[in-house]
């Protein structure tokens, strides 16, 4: 059951590493008392709830600070030190 859930969630998320981060953050939130966005059965763990939320499209992610892919070289600006 869980492998099926992981495969369904991976269809919504681009990479397994991102899925791990999204699910772990949501598990932490659920542990702190946040309410689930789906109906929960008594046998479901927090990880099952988080995976269901991702697979159902109720939980997503946003990549912040992604570097632009168009530039090939990274230019670094440095400041000259003042001599005393």
Most distant CA pair in the chain, distance: 71
Sign of the alpha-carbon dihedral angle for 51, 57, 59, 62? positive
pTM: 0.73
Q: Give residue 67's pLDDT band: very low, low, confident or very high (50, 70, 90).
A: low
C-alpha to C-alpha distance for 22 and 31, rounded to whole angstroms: 14
Q: What is the DSSP letter of 14?
A: S
So what's the pLDDT on residue 78?
A: 53
What does the domain layout of the chain look like in residue ranges? Answer: 2-55
Query: Distances from the Cα of 15 to the Cαs of 18, 56, 61, 72, in angstroms?
Result: 5, 17, 12, 24
What is the tens place of the pLDDT at every residue in 9-42?
999 998 999 999 999 999 999 999 999 999 999 9
- Among 73, 32, 38, smallest CA distance to 54 is for 38
């Amino acid at each position: 059951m869980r492998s099926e859930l992981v495969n369904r969630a991976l269809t919504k998320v681009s990479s397994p590493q991102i899925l791990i981060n999204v699910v772990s953050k949501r598990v932490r939130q659920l542990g702190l008392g946040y309410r689930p966005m789906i109906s929960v059965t008594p046998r479901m763990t927090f990880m099952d709830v988080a995976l269901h939320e991702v697979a159902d499209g109720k939980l997503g992610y946003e990549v912040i600070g992604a570097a632009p892919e168009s530039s090939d070289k990274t230019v670094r600006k440095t400041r000259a030190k003042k001599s005393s």
